[in-house]
Each structure stands twice: as C-alpha cells, then as structure tokens.
C-alpha cells in the first residue's frame, strides 16, 4: 500500500478549554501543561497535569480516492483513544503504547472529511513515570486498490545464517501473484514468487550490534504482469540461541551491556521523532551500551529503526501491570483482560522484522507472580508470544521481593487480602504508597532487597518462573545468579534491572557465570517522571533547608542526563566493560560545598567532568577518578595530591582545594610505569555563548530535528561549570522551537519556553523543520553576553 504522511495540519483542544492550537504530529500535549504539586499525577509524572484532548484533521478526497482501500495507522496515542470520522466512531484503543490500524474504506466521502481523535488522559494517576498525552507518535495513511499487501503484512523470518522464510499477508485475487526480491547495498541478489517462500541468501552478510548490516525485501503484487501494489521491509540476517552458554547471536556469545530506558525524549516530552531516537541510540552506543530494555512498554517504530541501523539489541517490554493495579486508573484488571492479546500481538507484529529485537518481556515487577493467578497468566502470555514468534525468547522483569510480599498478602500495590484487583488501586490519588513507596523502600533498605531474593519463599517463586519463562529476568536480585545457574545449568538468566552503583560486582558475576546474558542498569538515560529517585539533593548546612527551589522534573538516575550529556559514571562503566583504558575524572560541584549531599541508591555521585569552577577558588571538594590501573595519581597544576590504588575501579581524593588551571589523572601499572593520562583544564577569560548544532541541514518534511548544544564558555573554549544564567533563543524561517531546556533537576521553567537557565554552563534546544524549504536563523542571547547566531538549511 502507498504510505503517506498524515502528520501535518492538525488542531488540538483540551476538553473544557476554548484555546485551539495548530500542531503537526507527533505532539505531546502533557509537556505544555502547568506543573504543580497539587496535580494528582504527583512525582510519578513529574507533577504535570493530565487531561482530555481532542485532535482534529480536515482532509479532502476526490471521488476516485473514496473508492480506494484506505487504512490509518496510529503509532501510539496516550491514552484511551477514540477515533471518529465525519462524526462516526470508527475505532477505540485504550493502551497508550501500541500501534493500531483503522480501516476507513467506504467510510469517507468525496470532498471534505473530518478526522477526530480523542485522547483521554484525564483520569490520573495512571502511570508510574511521565507518560505524555495525545498523539505523541506518527500517523500514516495507507491507500491502494481492492487488492493489496496489508500494512505490516510482509514478514521475514530468519531460519539460519543463509536462509530466510518470507510470509506475505495480502488481499488478492486467484489470478494475481506476489514476486519477492532481496536487495543488498549493491542491488538485487535473489528473487522468488509466492506468499509463503523460503529463500537462500548466498554468502550472507550477518547483522549484529557491532556490524548492523541490513538487507531489503521488496514484495510486488502483480495483476496480469502489472504491479498494482508493493511493500518493502529492511531486515538483518542473524540467529539467536540461548541456554547453558548464555545468549548467542550468530552462534557467538554476547553479553548485554544493558540500559533500561523510558520512552520520553527529555525536553521533547514523549514525542517519538526518528532523529531523537537515533540520537539516543548513538549516545548510548558511545557510552558503551550494546542493549536496551524498553521500560516498561512497547518501544517506538522510530527506535526500532534506529537500533537496526546503528546496532543495538532490544528487549521489548509489553506491560508494567496485569491483574493488580499500581495506580488507580492504569491498564490493569478489566482493560488488561480485554486487550492484552491484541496489544502483545501488535508489539510482536511491529517487532518481527527488526533484527535488533532479541527478546520479548511480558511484564515488569508484576507482583502477582507471587500468586497462582499471576503465575498462570504468565504461562498463558509466554505461550501466546511463542505462537506469534517462536524465534525469540520470552522473559519478564521479576522482582522477587515484591512477588514474595504479594504471595504473603502484603503487596504494596492495589490488592485485597485475596490478591484481587481493587477498583481504586492502592493508596489514594496522591500516588502513595505505591511506586513512590517502593522507591523510598529501595533507598532505605538497598541491599536487603537483593538478600530477600534468596529466601525460601523467593526461591519457590523463582523455581516457578524458571518453568514459565525462556530466560528469567531478575530486578535487583543478583544474589540469585549463582543459585539459578546451579539449579538450572541449561537455562539462561538476565539481570533485567540493576543499580548502576553495583555494576562492578554484577559484571564480575555476568562474566563468570556461563548462563548469564548480561546486566541492564536503571537507568542508562535519564527520563522525565519518578521525580528525584536518583537526584542528588542538597540542603543548607546551617538551615537544613533544601537548596533548590522548584519541583524536580526528572528521575535523576541516568548515567546520561536528559539532554544527552554523558556523566562521569559512563567512563566507569566503560572501564568495567573493558572498553576504555584512559582514566575518567569526576569532580564534585565546587558550587555546592556549603551544602549537605543527600545520596540515592540509584545515583551515589553528582560529579561533573569539569575543572572549571570560576569563583570557587580555595573551596574543597572530592575528585573521583575511574580507572582499572594498579595506581592512580592526581595532579593539581603539576602538584601531586597523592596516589591511590583504585577499589572496584574507583579512586577518591577528598578535600581537594580548587585552583584554576588543570588537573591530571595519571594511571600506572604494577611496575610503576605510566599507562594513560587524562587532563581537565579551566575556562579562562570573558564568558561567551557557544552554539554547537549537531546538524545544519534538514529536510522540509516536518520531522527532521536539529539538536543545538548551548554552552557558556571562556575564551579558550572550555565550558564554565559555575556560571549559569538564563539564555533566550529566537528562531526565524521555516522551523519551530520544539523543545528547550537543561538537565537541571529542579526547574520552574517550561520546556516550551524560549528562555531557560543553563545547568553547569549547558543547555539544549531542539529545532524542528517545517514543510517548506528555506533558511532558518537562530539567535541565542543572554544578559551581558554577545548574541550568537547560526544558520540552518531546510531543503
């Protein structure tokens, strides 16, 4: 079918408001809402308000076009979507993360048509993280004649390293036929006919995260030798196997250096742009990750494409809840029972041709896995996944402590004593004591949760899980790795969610236990919502008052911040994984030496990779050096501050006075020979604005993005980490400001504003191309600073 962009020229109106906004999709209506501590979403959704939003698009069709087959695809709408065409309801879709199709054939009229989509996210809380609201992923219109290949109807199954099996789901007549062609990067290499065909690929170039080589399959529907419809899909040739030797891709062992990620894109909110997803994958790969877990919902098509093209393994996760509610208005219970099969089928259909997807997860921290009903549901869902795709294993993120509590009728989530769903969920509308309670418990108890995974009750549940899932996944339960390897030496296991601070110990286990597949830290990339679970917070030493005004907007747990800046912990991770030999330096903020630090289980350092703290001369703070060297020496302006032997690849130097200039970390081997050196220098001279666009050429497609990194620098080009101020951005030409902000945790500004305060001298603006070609001028200004300007080309 011919796929056309249906993202342009929509309007959106919040229910109860007279304001009508003109938008192009994707659009996140929640990111425009005012944040308040009084909002019922509370910290889980970063204090943004919920709402009901009516999206409308007017489009014209000719008489001939009304006789075509017409199918709409919505890649995702959050949530409770109801679709109306010319006043008539044509579809509904409750789940906010799966794509769905709406056949409007014969329901359109010649002339003007009105498409209306109601996204109802008014009943909150319904999510444990920032969900976004509205049509936040793309919309497409497919059109064809009466015979056609269905959307997502071309499926490529990898049989072995040289063989593929192709299924084509088409509406066709007996005298029509399907011709299949396979292309590599130089042209066509093989062809065949039929709707159910096995093809051999000679000298196949295999796909992996290290070498993401893609082929293209083209299916042509012929009528009397004339092409009447076509479909294309990219795919990679790779095999998967798992068991006693862990996880194998193309018969080679792979250890997942994993990042759990949420679906939002920082200052863009929940919007799923292709460029934004590609950028996230690129940054994650630069940080050493080779795998992501889509926590805790099906991943976007844009992210699937990015992972295929750039090389990143994916665990795609279906749900965060099944039978028992974690929030009063979430998907669990009646909605789940009615829709789970359709939503899992949609996820698997979406993923099927994507080489990057190596595992399906049917749920995260499902407490009812400690109950007979939940265990039976897990078994049913695993078997259902196998009927849809038997080539990939099924897992779940199992929290044995929470499951044990539920089995003992002490669940923190919404259950009666018999374990059934309570309509109101647990807690009240203030979203406590559910997810927030668990996060508090993690910070208070920490390692006890890991120890709880070894109890007799936890072991009994783990034994049941081993019989249900192909690869059991454990959240915060590394204590089970050796136990499961001993009890089930033929079964692979994965660390589906772990604390970043435990990476060193976890990775030793992953490397030493043959059945282990990898480790997925919470989180690789910071995200909106679950506000402050990992944020290092500061209190005045004298008054004991919080140092920062404003509500916290992000989780703060990522080793990459919401703007894509890699924190020093990235260097530590890469050293542990064996990907880096040079030291990484992390410096506690010298601007915060007058405050107490309040640490978190998810993040135990607030260090910045900077030795540029103008105005902090003489103040003392800690400097952390990450290295696997035998010894590390710290030099401050050429003077030694001592040598230390790193413990778990960390050497900490305390009470280091700040003096402008440079610091150096020198790595030595056991013979005392220098093996590597890292240097940080201070900014000097007058402050100015530096603009660094990640691209300057955009297509006039309404979707392309320019990520503009903004820094306050000295005359030597070094960012001034202690100089923060508001900067204003102005854009003229065929483009718009899609989002603007910084990684500052406590924010009072909106990401939709044109003015934002930097954080450690940095901020990020995202500029969205329009649909017309031309030149875009971007100006950034600040009080007492020279305005900086750059030009973007839209073509």
Q: For residue 570, is it within any domain?
A: no
Mean residue pLDDT of the chain comes to 95
Q: Are residues 137 and 175 in the same domain?
A: no
pLDDT above 90: residue 423: no
Q: In sequence order, which residues have a C-beta less than 8 Å from that of residue 477 and are 6 or more positions away?
A: 398, 399, 400, 401, 449, 450, 453, 458
Q: Are residues 363 and 440 in the same domain?
A: yes
Peptide bond into 296 cis (omega under 30): yes
Distances (CA, A) of 134 to 157, 287, 331, 792: 34, 32, 17, 29
Burial 191-223 (b: 16+ CB within 10 A, else e): eeeebebebebeebebbbbeebbbbebbbbbbe
Q: Are residues 406 and 266 in the same domain?
A: yes
pLDDT above 70: residue 419: no
**CA dist., res. 569 & res. 55, Å (int):** 42
Encoded tokens for 98:
């799966």
Q: Are residues 71 and 180 in the same domain?
A: no
Report the predicted TM-score, pTM, of the whole model to 2 decimal places: 0.96
Q: For residue 549, is it within any domain?
A: no
List the domain range (segments joined by +) for residue 758: 688-794
Confidence grade of residue 415 (pLDDT, cut at 50, 70, 90): very low
CB-CB contact of 319 with 388 (8 Å): no
CB-CB contact of 451 with 445 (8 Å): no
pLDDT above 60: residue 430: no
Which residues share a beta bridge with 694?
none
Q: Which is more confidently placed, 427 or 510?
A: 510
Measure CA 242 to chain center.
25
CATH number at residue 475: 3.20.20.80
pLDDT above 60: residue 418: no
Residue whose tokens read 């665990």: 315
Structural domain tally of the chain?
5
**CA dist., res. 478 & res. 506, Å (int):** 7
DSSP count for the chain of H helices, then E strands: 12, 48
Confidence grade of residue 440 (pLDDT, cut at 50, 70, 90): low
Burial 536-568 (b: 16+ CB within 10 A, else e): bbbeeeeeeeeebeebbbbbbbbbbbbbbbbbb
Can you give the pLDDT at residue 436?
Answer: 65
Q: Are residues 60 and 166 in the same domain?
A: no
Q: Are residues 329 and 473 in the same domain?
A: yes
From edge to edge, which strands make up the β-sheet containing 735-741?
688-693, 705-713, 762-769, 735-741
Can you give the pLDDT at residue 541?
Answer: 84
Determine what percent of the chain is predicted with pLDDT higher than 70: 96
pLDDT above 70: residue 748: yes
Torsion of CA 204, 210, 213, 214, to 10 degrees: 120
Q: For residue 100, is it within any domain?
A: yes
Q: For residue 726, is it within any domain?
A: yes
CB-CB contact of 295 with 275 (8 Å): no
Q: In this predicted model, what pLDDT tens digit does every residue of 684-728 receive, in sequence order?
A: 999 999 999 999 999 999 999 999 999 999 999 999 999 999 999
Q: Is 377 helix (H, G, I), strand (E, B) or coil?
A: helix
pLDDT above 70: residue 310: yes
- Choosing from 458, 490, 524, the residue where a domain stops is 524
Can you give the pLDDT at residue 535?
Answer: 94
Q: Is 795 helix (H, G, I), strand (E, B) or coil?
A: coil
Q: For residue 129, is it within any domain?
A: yes
Q: Are residues 623 and 698 in the same domain?
A: no
Q: How many residues does the chain have?
A: 795
Confidence grade of residue 426 (pLDDT, cut at 50, 70, 90): very low
Can you give the pLDDT at residue 427?
Answer: 34
Q: For residue 659, is it within any domain?
A: yes
Measure CA 294 to chain center.
6
Q: Are residues 289 and 433 in the same domain?
A: yes
Confidence grade of residue 666 (pLDDT, cut at 50, 70, 90): very high
Q: Are residues 668 and 727 in the same domain?
A: no
Mean pLDDT calculated for residue range 78-99: 99
CATH number at residue 80: 2.60.120.260
CATH number at residue 596: 2.60.40.10
Encoded tokens for 654:
């305390």
Can you give the pLDDT at residue 599?
Answer: 86
Confidence grade of residue 542 (pLDDT, cut at 50, 70, 90): confident
CB-CB contact of 189 with 199 (8 Å): no
pLDDT above 90: residue 607: yes
Give 432-467 as a DSSP string. Answer: TTTHHHHHHHHHHHTHHHHHHTTSHHHHHHHHHHHH
Q: For residue 208, is it within any domain?
A: yes
Q: For residue 506, is it within any domain?
A: yes
Can you give the pLDDT at residue 435?
Answer: 61
**CA dist., res. 268 & res. 251, Å (int):** 39
pLDDT above 60: residue 422: no
Q: Are residues 177 and 311 in the same domain?
A: no
- 226 CB neighbour count, 10 Å cutoff: 9
Confidence grade of residue 543 (pLDDT, cut at 50, 70, 90): confident
CB-CB contact of 391 with 351 (8 Å): no
Environment class of residue 408 by beta-carbon count within 10 Å: exposed (0-12), middle (13-18) or buried (19+)? Answer: exposed
Phi and psi at 104, nearest 5°, equal -110, 15
- Choosing from 681, 700, 733, the residue where a domain stops is 681
Q: In this predicted model, what pLDDT tens digit does every residue of 754-769 receive, in sequence order?
A: 999 999 999 999 999 9
pLDDT above 50: residue 425: no
**CA dist., res. 2 & res. 68, Å (int):** 11
Give 134-191 as a DSSP string. Answer: B--S-EEEEEE-SSEEEEEEEEEEEEETTEEEEEEEEE--TTEEEEEEEEETTEEEEE
Burial 258-269 (b: 16+ CB within 10 A, else e): bbbbbbbbbbbb
pLDDT above 60: residue 552: yes
Q: In this predicted model, what pLDDT tens digit does every residue of 622-645 receive, in sequence order?
A: 999 999 999 999 999 999 999 999
Q: Which is more confidently placed, 344 or 549?
A: 344
pLDDT above 90: residue 431: no
CB-CB contact of 140 with 72 (8 Å): yes
- Choosing from 193, 220, 235, the residue where a domain stops is 235
Q: Are residues 649 and 619 in the same domain?
A: yes
Q: Are residues 275 and 373 in the same domain?
A: yes
CB-CB contact of 689 with 786 (8 Å): yes
Least confident window among 67-81, 173-187, 278-292, 589-603: 589-603
Which residues share a beta bridge with 737?
767
pLDDT above 90: residue 529: yes
**CA dist., res. 747 & res. 755, Å (int):** 12
């Amino acid at each position: 079918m011919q796929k056309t962009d249906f993202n342009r020229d929509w309007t959106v109106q919040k229910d109860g408001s007279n304001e009508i906004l003109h938008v192009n999709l994707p659009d996140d209506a929640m990111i425009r809402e005012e944040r308040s501590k009084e909002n019922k979403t509370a910290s889980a959704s970063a204090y943004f308000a919920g709402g009901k939003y009516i999206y409308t698009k007017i489009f014209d069709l000719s008489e001939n076009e009304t006789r075509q087959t017409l199918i709409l695809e919505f890649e995702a709408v959050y949530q409770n979507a109801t679709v109306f065409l010319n006043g008539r309801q044509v579809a509904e879709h409750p789940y906010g993360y799966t794509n769905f199709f709406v056949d409007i054939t014969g329901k359109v009229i010649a002339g003007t048509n009105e498409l209306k989509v109601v996204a109802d996210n008014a009943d909150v809380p319904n999510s444990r993280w920032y969900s976004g609201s509205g049509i936040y992923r793309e919309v497409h219109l497919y059109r064809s004649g009466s015979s056609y290949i269905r959307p997502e109807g071309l499926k490529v199954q990898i049989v072995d390293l040289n063989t593929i099996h192709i299924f084509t789901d088409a509406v066709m007549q007996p005298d029509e036929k399907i011709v299949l062609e396979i292309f590599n990067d130089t042209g066509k290499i093989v062809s065949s006919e039929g709707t159910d065909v096995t093809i051999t690929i000679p000298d196949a170039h295999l796909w992996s995260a290290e070498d993401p080589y893609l082929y293209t399959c083209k299916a042509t529907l012929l009528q009397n030798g004339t092409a009447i419809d076509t479909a294309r899909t990219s795919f990679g040739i790779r095999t998967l196997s798992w068991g006693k030797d862990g996880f194998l891709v193309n018969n080679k062992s792979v250890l997942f250096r994993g990042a759990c990620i949420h679906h939002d894109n920082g200052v863009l909110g929940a919007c799923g742009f292709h460029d934004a997803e590609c950028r996230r994958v690129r940054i994650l790969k630069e940080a050493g990750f080779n795998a992501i877990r889509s926590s805790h919902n099906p991943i976007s098509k844009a992210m699937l494409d990015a992972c295929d093209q750039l090389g990143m393994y994916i665990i795609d996760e279906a749900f965060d809840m099944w039978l028992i509610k974690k929030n009063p208005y979430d998907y669990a219970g009646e909605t789940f029972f009615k829709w789970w099969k359709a939503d899992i089928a949609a996820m698997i259909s979406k993923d099927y041709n994507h080489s990057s997807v190596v595992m399906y997860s049917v749920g995260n921290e499902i407490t009812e896995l400690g109950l007979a009903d939940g265990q039976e549901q897990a078994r049913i869902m695993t078997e259902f996944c196998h009927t849809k795709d038997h080539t990939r294993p099924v897992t779940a993120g199992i929290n044995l402590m929470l499951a044990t509590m539920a089995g003992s009728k002490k669940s923190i989530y919404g259950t009666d004593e018999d374990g059934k769903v309570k309509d109101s969920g647990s807690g009240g509308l203030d979203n406590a004591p559910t997810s927030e309670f668990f996060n508090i418990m993690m910070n208070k108890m920490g390692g006890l949760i890991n120890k709880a995974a070894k109890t007799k009750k936890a072991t009994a549940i783990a034994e049941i899980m081993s019989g249900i899932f192909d690869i059991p996944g454990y959240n915060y339960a590394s204590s089970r790795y050796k136990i499961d390897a001993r009890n089930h030496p033929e079964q692979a296991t994965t660390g589906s969610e772990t604390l970043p601070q435990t990476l060193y110990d976890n990775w030793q286990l992953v490397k030493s236990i043959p059945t282990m597949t990898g480790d997925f830290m919470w989180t690789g990339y910071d995200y909106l919502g679950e506000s402050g679970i990992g944020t290092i917070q500061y209190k005045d030493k004298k008054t004991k008052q919080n140092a920062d005004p404003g509500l916290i907007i992000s989780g703060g747990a990522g080793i990459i911040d919401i703007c894509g800046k890699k924190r020093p912990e990235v260097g530590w991770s890469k050293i542990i994984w064996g990907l880096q030999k040079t030291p990484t330096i992390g410096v506690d903020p010298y601007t915060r030496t007058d405050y107490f630090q309040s640490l978190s289980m998810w993040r135990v350092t607030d260090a910045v990779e900077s030795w540029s703290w103008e105005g902090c001369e003489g103040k003392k703070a800690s400097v952390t050096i990450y290295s696997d060297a035998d010894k590390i020496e710290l030099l401050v302006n050429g003077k030694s501050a001592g040598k230390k032997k790193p413990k778990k690849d960390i050497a900490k130097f305390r009470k280091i006075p700040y003096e402008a200039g440079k610091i150096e970390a020198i790595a030595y081997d056991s013979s005392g020979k220098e093996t590597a050196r890292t240097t940080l220098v201070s900014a000097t001279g007058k402050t100015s604005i530096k603009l660094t666009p990640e691209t300057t050429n955009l297509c006039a497609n309404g979707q392309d993005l320019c990520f503009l990194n903004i820094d306050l620098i000295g005359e030597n080009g070094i960012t001034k980490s202690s100089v923060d101020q508001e900067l204003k951005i102005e854009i003229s030409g065929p483009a718009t400001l899609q989002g603007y902000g910084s990684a500052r945790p406590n924010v009072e500004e909106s990401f939709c504003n044109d003015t934002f305060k930097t954080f450690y001298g940095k901020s990020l603006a995202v500029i969205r191309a329009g649909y017309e070609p031309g030149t875009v001028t971007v100006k950034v200004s600040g009080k007492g600073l020279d305005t900086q300007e750059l030009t973007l080309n839209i073509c």
